[in-house]
Structure formats: structure tokens, C-alpha cells
Chains A and B, each alone.
Chain A
């Protein structure tokens, strides 16, 4: 089977709706198919990656630690749109530091998050074979 480029586009904040969690689960399940996977976080989707989430008092599962496992699933292209962060008063430092380990380079840690402008991301989306929207 030829490898296709899959992109998951995440546009919703976590917890208020089910989209963020559903997307994450589909990404993890889909990772078994060895495709060329990338994730994009735009609009309120950038809130999914904010560090320091603590859901104890709202009685919902805190799924934010799971983003740190994406590298283990060979999902290591995570695009975050710069304009969306700025519009929300956030910077890259407000987000989790997501890394993946390169087995071919003695498990060297590499950054997974790529901060891109809207127009750069538009180009990346343009190259995809399959786009899944959440």
C-alpha cells in the first residue's frame, strides 16, 4: 500500500466539546497504519496543547499528557499556527514541549512542534492526500 500524507486539523478547545479527545483517539488508532501523519492546531485548537492542565475539579479525564506519547507513535510533525497563538495571547512557551526520539540517531530527542504562519500552513495543507477535520 502506498504511503499517503494524512493531516488531522484540530480547531476546537479541549473539554467543552468532545472533538479534541476524539481526534486524539483517531490519531492513535490511525498510527497503526504506517502513513505519513501530521497534525495541525489552529484557532482554539491551540488550547489543546497548553501545559499545566488539571481537570481534577471538573471530573473529566485530563488527556493532555497523551500528546507527549505521540512521538512514540511516530507522529512527530505537529504544526501550530502562529497567528492563532498570538490572537489568544499565547506563545510557544505556554504549550507543552513535545519531542520525539530518533531511533536511528541513538534516541536523540527532537522537537515535534513546528511553529508556522497561516500562509505556510496553507501550503502544507495543500500537499496532503487526506485531511481529517476535528
Chain B
């Protein structure tokens, strides 16, 4: 079973990302959307957690990152996807868990 996890809350205002990370098994993917994209930037404590999470893939929804003006701050190792890419991720995984 490979799960796609989505996180739509800022990691600085909500525990959603931390909880998600605790449940993410090897082979799963965490996709940041809406205010969740703030986790995908560099230079803060959340970035270290992502760097240290081996076995989990990370992706971020490009349109939400652009909207917030943070494309240039994207951390290494996080794949940018558009809406089609979002759909592909859903199709590639066995099921989706949204950490609202």
C-alpha cells in the first residue's frame, strides 16, 4: 500500500504536518497544497524534518507556491507538480489521506 498524504495547513500554525509525518511510511508521498506549501520552503525548522525523512517522497502544488510568491525559496528534493500532476499522483497511489 502506497499512500498519498496531502497537507493543506501551514506547519507553523497547525500540527497537521507533524502528525502526517508520523504516519508516513516508506514509499508514500506527502503533497503540500494551499497553506501547506509553506513547509516546502528553505531556512526553517520544518525544512530539516523534510530533509531527514528518508523513504518518503515530497511534492508541492506549483500554483499554490506561485500564488504565495515562494517559488525561489523551494527546498531541494521537493517535486513541483501542477494540477495534472496532482491527478497523476492520486492515480499512482493506492489511496489518499488528507490531513486537514
Contacts and interface: CB of A to CB of B under 8 A. Distances in A.
Interface residues of A, number: 26
Contacts of B13: 12-13, 43-44
B35 A55 contact: no
Interface residues of B, number: 26
Interface string B30-41: 000011001001
Nearest to B66: A54
Contacts of B82: 57
Contacts of B22: none
B67 interface: yes
Nearest to B70: A50
A63 to B, nearest CB: 11
A16 B10 contact: yes
Given A13-B38, A15-B35, A58-B63, A44 B12 contact: yes
Interface of B: 8-10, 12-13, 34-35, 38, 41-45, 47, 62-64, 66-73, 82
Interface of A: 12-17, 43-44, 47, 50-58, 60, 62, 64, 87-90, 94
